[in-house]
Structure 1
Amino acid sequence: MSTVGALNDEALKRKERLKALRDKRAAPKTIPDVDKETDEIKEKERLPKPSFRSYNPGSEKLKDLSMDVIKPSDVTDIIKDQIDAGKTEHVVSEVDLNNLAPRKPDWDLKRDVSKKLEKLERHTQRAIAELIRERLKASQDDLAYVVMGEGIRRKVDDDDDDD
């Protein structure tokens, strides 16, 4: 219940402030000519002054606000200096071909796939090792023949036949 009383007190204070503001606004209007002159001066200061660049106003009051016609400056000397500066030969002693050569079109693909390829390479090595183990278990032949495969065995057998 104490909050209701506090809210009522705040509402009364707000009403008093609003009434004081209304009285404050109404008071300057009652004073005659002096306030009107100051209001007009303040209003003139507040309003922006127009500046006429490409328009010639008909009114004499506004002609004072128009800007003078400005002719463009001669820039030929500046342009000639810039052209002469561009004609000087710059000698490059060292050229880095890596910076000049364009990258291969698939460099970004290789970059993105490299991690997956490393993982795949590990799986491939495991699979090859597993195949070698299976061959060793299947045949009790010499380890070198099993690891190198049948091609070396045939080559060695052919060499033995020639002797």
Structure 2
Amino acid sequence: MAAEEESLEEIVAARKERLRALKAAQQLLNTPDEDDQNQPDDVDQTSTNMKFRNYVPHDKKLQEGKLEPPKPSKFEDPVAAVPPPSNKTEDPFLNIAPKKPNWELRRDVQKKLDKLERRTQKAMCKLMEQEKQKQLEEDAISGAGD
């Protein structure tokens, strides 16, 4: 028990010492500087170099610090200075639109058209063979009848 009381007393003493140090520091911060005590109160506080760029002060003393608004430098557009190329080529905007208004239909129906094209070719070949057969038969009949 005695050891605990001694340790508590040490903790309390340390805390009191810290509090005294904090009070001393606070008093140092609150006391005015010697330089401030030597200056009279009627000295113009606007002697600091204040510049007003965007604000117009109402006080006459402060209006001396007002600056003129900045003037933008002259801008020269580098893109406008370069002349456009004189090559008269096809307008690229003409290639954007489809040349025929039914191109979507053709795209969607292309498989069916291809299938139909193959069938048409087969039918034409078949008709040509039939025509040759008829001519051969007519030649055979006309040659046998002679």
- TM bin (shorter chain): 0.3 to 0.5
Report the TM-score, using the length of structure 2 for normalisation: 0.34
Report the TM-score, using the length of structure 1 for normalisation: 0.31
Which structure is higher in helix share?
1
Greater Rg, structure 1 or structure 2? 2
